[in-house]
Amino acid sequence: MKKRVFSGIQPTGNIHIGNYLGAIRNWVASQDEFDNIFCIVDLHAITVPQDPKMLHTKIRELAGLLLACGIDMEKSVLFVQSHVKEHAELAWILNCYIPMGWMQRMTQFKEKSAKQKEQVSVGLFDYPALMAADILLYDTDVVPVGADQKQHIELTRDVAERMNSMYGDVFKVPEPFIPKVGARIMSLKEPTKKMSKSDEHADASIHLLDEPDAIRKKIARATTDSLREIRFDENRPGVNNLLVIYQLFTNKSQEEIEAHFEGKGYADLKRELSEVVIEGLAPVQQRYAEITRDPAFIENLLKENADKVRPIAERTVSRVKEKIGLG
Ligand code: ATP
Ligand code: LTN
């Protein structure tokens, strides 16, 4: 029996190379090794205001992009969270077992609520309970994510363990998988902040569908520092971030990369990095154009895939209800 992987991604904004290098690429790489379920988390997306038409479109676009990145329907399931109603049902139950204090410690809520201009919803506060439900519904072993999600997975483990100790084996307790390199790709403009879909600065993120010229411009404008030497050094976040992106797109070692750039300047680094990123994204963009030629293909695929996982989710919810005495 293969171990089960589950991960999710929000259909908001534009997918960037942080999502790709920190998460999606690893999902693709380990598809053979695991039994994989990937979820487009639209219920998470509505924790902040969304335009209905746009949200609908973004869900399909994201599905197309994930397939273009290499998520393979022979090896993995890709579905939309709101197509399986058990996500919301289990989230409610988990809510009743998560102490307020645990939720109040979540740094993502603190950051996102501080940024929100509109009223902050209860859903945004409750986001981690829904994420825990996503993971626990499928008896997940491993959750591959970027570093920003570590705290949410710890909360998932905590609530699973809490209910297991109250009722006997209710849930499998999942482990996070966070890559050693690329777990936190930084904003090109403010390299002490993570690259983020919701960043207002147009040059902060490289999107998977960006044209070559846009990529060149954004990298050319990336914040560096006033030093000269091109070296991996976390104390120089701008240059370090560019080098990490270069490393992930070329699969070269840090030593090789430092030797390659010895005696060269930041303009060389930026020029070479641009070409490497453009080349790395070209096949994804090409496949995306092919896949989206037939919109019915994605629509059917999402429906069929939800039908595949729904029975697993239903079984888990029945088990939980029975254990806690519901119904
Ligand atoms: P936002 O910042 O607007 O909340 P996001 O960019 O974090 O959105 P998500 O859909 O929430 O996007 O994340 C999808 C996956 O990408 C998650 O596994 C997350 O950890 C990962 N991820 C997001 N940003 C980065 C980043 N800068 N570096 C590495 N991984 C990232
Ligand atoms: N919160 C995650 C998205 C997400 C997720 C999940 C990731 C929702 N449910 C379950 C892993 C497992 C984020 O990336 N911001």
pLDDT digits (tens, 9 = 90+) for 152-186: 999 999 999 999 999 999 999 999 999 999 999 99
Is position 218 annotated as part of the catalytic site? no
The reported pLDDT for the residue numbered 200 is: 85
Percentage, residues of the chain above pLDDT 90: 95
Q: Indicate whether residue 131 lines ligand 2 (CB < 6 A).
A: yes
Ligand 2 atom at minimal distance to the Cα of residue 144: 11
Cα separation, 134 vs 86, whole angstroms: 9
Closest protein CA for atom 26 of ligand 1: 18
Is position 112 annotated as part of the catalytic site? yes
Q: How far is the CA of 229 from the centre of ligand 2 (A)?
A: 37
Distance 196 CA to ligand 1 centre (A): 6
pLDDT digits (tens, 9 = 90+) for 226-274: 999 999 999 999 999 999 999 999 999 999 999 999 999 999 999 999 9
| CA of residue 268 to ligand 1 center, whole Å | 29
Q: What is the pLDDT of residue 117?
A: 78
Percent of the chain with pLDDT over 70: 100
Short-list 313, 16, 9, CA closest to 145: 9
Report the distance separating Cα 90 and Cα 95, nearest Å.
Answer: 9
Between 82-86, 87-91, 117-121, 170-174, the lowest mean confidence (pLDDT) is in: 117-121
For residue 78, give the H/E element and its range.
Answer: strand 76-80
Q: What is the pTM of this model?
A: 0.96
Decide if pLDDT at 118 tops 90. Answer: no
Segment 7-30 mean pLDDT: 95
Query: Which ligand has an atom closest to residue 5 CA?
Result: 2
Whether the predicted pLDDT of 98 surpasses 90: yes
**Residue among 285, 290, 322, 255 at smallest CA distance from 17:** 285
- Element (DSSP H or E) covering residue 93: helix 86-95
- Out of 197, 252, 321, 323, the active site residue is 197
DSSP string, 254-297: HHHHHHHHTT--HHHHHHHHHHHHHHHHHHHHHHHHHHTT-HHH
- Whether 145 lines ligand 2, by a CB cut-off of 6 Å, is yes
Over 90: is that where the pLDDT of 11 sits? yes
Say whether pLDDT at 198 is over 90. Answer: no
CA separation for the pair 214, 159 (Å, rounded) = 44
Integer-rounded Cα Rg, in Å, for the chain is: 21
Kindly state the helix (H) or strand (E) to which residue 6 belongs, with its residue range: strand 4-9
Domains of the chain and CATH, by start: 4-178+295-324 (3.40.50.620), 212-289 (1.10.240.10)
- Tell how far the Cα of 319 is from the centroid of ligand 1, in angstroms: 32
Atom of ligand 2 nearest to the CA of 10: 3
Q: Is the alpha carbon torsion for 125, 6, 82, 293 positive or negative?
A: positive
Q: Is the pLDDT of residue 75 over 90?
A: yes
**Is 194 a catalytic site residue?**
yes
325 Ramachandran zone, left/alpha/beta (phi>0; psi -120 to 50): left
Say what the pLDDT of residue 273 is.
98
- Residue 292: CB atoms within 10 A of its CB come to 17
User: Does ligand 1 lie within 6 Å of residue 313's CB atom?
Assistant: no
Cα(327) to centroid(ligand 1), Å: 38
**Probe residue for ligand 1, chosen from 9, 19, 152, 178 as the CB with the greatest number of ligand atoms within 8 Å:** 19
Task: Look at residue 223 in the predicted model and tell me its pLDDT.
Answer: 97
